[in-house]
């Protein structure tokens, strides 16, 4: 009889995709995915170490597994992902009922690890990074495709290079074959994943890879995450010239202060960043720009913070992911003096978010009456009579449910803009309104 697996996934899209890979590998070992931990023979925690909060959330969730294990001694509990790689000993001492701890690059050995049994900690084996996986995908029309693993950048606040190792790019023909297969299966959109996709390099570079992917015929290509330093003129030209590449760039700025950017070891100043955004906007009309900001990096003064506020007002992001700096043991920034008090960080964050909300709303208002191509995803949140989808610029648009199917590409006219979403009408159905 088959066995059941339940996966808790924390953190970024890379982790969401790693969970899809885990399910693919485990399905070969006779496991099927279930929707509650109570039904499971195996519970996996796919953890994230980027922020202290995500790690705390994981440990508190892990604590809740103790009674399940007591009720079912055959239940196996495994911990994977970035926290696993960093803190194997801590996991076993805080939760002795955990059976296996494995790193992000050991996913394809999961069945063997489970067979080997209890109290097993496996460090990463970089040799496995290029292995190809069977994947159980969450969606039948949008897919994540990992193009590279690891990161060579060592931003001073970031734990990723220590947990996921140095950059390894997948060969371009493997990636293209995967996307060609997805296209044949009816997938409409792929999102290429890597910690810094711009530095992809195998037999070709990232612009070359995009060109090959465009030729597969897949309708939409997205990618994340980009590093501003590696956003080259050639890449901007490729983004502008390839019809499948969506008009959206996520380009983390992190701070508007050159002093802080240098302490962060980001390799660019605000002026470079601003110039790259200007180049993107000049070459790709209508491109949406989103970014990341960290407030309260060690030593961030009021002046530095003000520089960030003016920067976000100048850039006018379509959307912004802003976070308070979170101290991660083992990173360079964790040993810097002058850590900013939590209360100051939180005040700075709230203030920044308020300013950005106004900018987001203004940007959305500019889209009223615009015609957009939408990939239909499914029911709209909070309104069963409506469906929702995403534009090529990644704007969420809701519209009346006229039987459109998830995975269908339609054209919409925007009738109303809100802070985080747009409302529209399907032009094929409401042609008299055009």
* Site residues (vs ligand SF4, CB under 6 A): 151, 153-155, 158, 160-161, 195-196, 227
Nearer residue to ligand SF4 within complex by CB, 154 or 321: 154
Min CB(39)–ligand SF4 separation in Å:
35
Nearer residue to ligand SF4 within complex by CB, 196 or 356: 196
Nearer residue to ligand SF4 within complex by CB, 46 or 196: 196
Min CB(283)–ligand SF4 separation in Å:
24
Min CB(150)–ligand SF4 separation in Å:
8
Nearer residue to ligand SF4 within complex by CB, 196 or 290: 196
Min CB(196)–ligand SF4 separation in Å:
5
Nearer residue to ligand SF4 within complex by CB, 114 or 197: 197
Nearer residue to ligand SF4 within complex by CB, 273 or 399: 273
Three-class SS of the chain: CCEEEEEEECCCHHHHHHHHHHHHHHHHCCEEECCCHHHCCEEEEEECCCCHHHHHHHHHHHHCCHHHHHHCCCCEEEEEHHHHHHCHHHHHHHCCCCCEEECHHHHHHHHHHHHHCCCEEECCCHHHCCCCCCCCCCCCCEEEEECEECCCCCCCCCCHHHHHCCCEECCHHHHHHHHHHHHHCCCCEEEEECCCHHHCECCCEHHHHHHHHHCCCCCEEEEECCCHHHCCHHHHHHHHHCCCECCEEECCCECCCHHHHHHCCCCCCHHHHHHHHHHHHHHCCCCEEEEEEEECCCCCCHHHHHHHHHHHHHHCCCEEEEEECCCCCCCHHHHCCCCCCHHHHHHHHHHHHHHHHHHHHHHHHCCCCCEEEEEEEEEECCEEEEEEEEECCCCEEEEECCCCCCCCEEEEEEEEECCCCEEEEECCCCHHHC
Min CB(155)–ligand SF4 separation in Å:
3
Min CB(153)–ligand SF4 separation in Å:
4
Min CB(410)–ligand SF4 separation in Å:
35
Nearer residue to ligand SF4 within complex by CB, 86 or 404: 86
């Amino acid at each position: 009889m088959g066995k059941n697996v339940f996966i808790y996934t924390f953190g970024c899209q890379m982790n969401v995709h790693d969970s899809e890979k885990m399910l693919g590998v485990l399905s070969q070992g006779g496991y099927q995915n279930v929707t509650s931990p109570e039904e499971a023979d195996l519970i996996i925690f796919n953890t994230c170490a980027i922020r202290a909060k995500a790690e705390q959330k994981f440990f508190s969730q892990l604590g809740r597994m103790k009674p399940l294990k007591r009720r079912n001694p055959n239940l196996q509990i495994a911990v994977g992902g970035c926290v696993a790689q960093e803190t194997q000993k801590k996991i076993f001492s805080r939760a002795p009922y955990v059976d296996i701890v494995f790193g992000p690059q050991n996913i394809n050995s999961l069945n063997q690890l489970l067979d080997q049994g209890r109290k097993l900690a496996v460090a990463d084996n970089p040799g496995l990074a290029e292995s190809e996986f069977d994947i159980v995908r969450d969606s039948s029309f949008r897919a994540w495709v990992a193009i590279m693993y690891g990161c060579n950048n060592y931003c001073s606040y970031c734990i990723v290079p220590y947990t996921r190792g140095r950059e390894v790019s997948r060969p371009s023909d493997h990636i293209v074959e995967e996307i060609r297969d997805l296209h044949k299966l009816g997938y409409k959109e792929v999102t290429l994943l890597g910690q810094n996709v711009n530095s992809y390099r195998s037999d070709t570079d990232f612009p070359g890879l995009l060109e090959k992917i465009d030729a597969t015929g897949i309708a939409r290509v997205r990618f994340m995450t980009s590093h501003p330093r590696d956003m080259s003129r050639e890449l901007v030209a490729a983004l502008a010239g390839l019809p499948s590449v969506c008009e959206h760039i996520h380009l983390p700025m992190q701070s508007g202060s050159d002093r802080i950017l240098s302490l962060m070891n980001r390799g660019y100043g605000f002026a470079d960043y601003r110039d790259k955004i200007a180049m993107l906007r000049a070459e790709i009309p209508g491109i949406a720009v989103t970014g990341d900001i960290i407030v309260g990096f060690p030593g961030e003064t009021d002046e530095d913070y003000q520089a960030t506020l003016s920067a976000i007002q100048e850039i006018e992001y379509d959307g912004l992911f802003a976070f308070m700096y979170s101290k991660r043991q083992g990173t360079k920034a964790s040993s810097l003096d002058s850590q900013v008090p939590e209360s100051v960080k939180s005040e700075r964050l709230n203030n920044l978010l308020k300013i950005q909300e106004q900018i987001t709303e203004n940007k959305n208002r500019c889209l009223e009456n615009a015609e957009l191509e939408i990939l239909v995803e499914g029911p709209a949140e909070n309104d069963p009579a409506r469906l929702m989808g995403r534009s090529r610029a990644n704007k969420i648009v809701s519209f009346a449910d006229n039987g459109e199917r998830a995975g269908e590409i339609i054209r919409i006219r925007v009738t109303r803009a809100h802070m985080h979403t747009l409302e529209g009408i399907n032009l094929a159905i409401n042609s008299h309104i055009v």
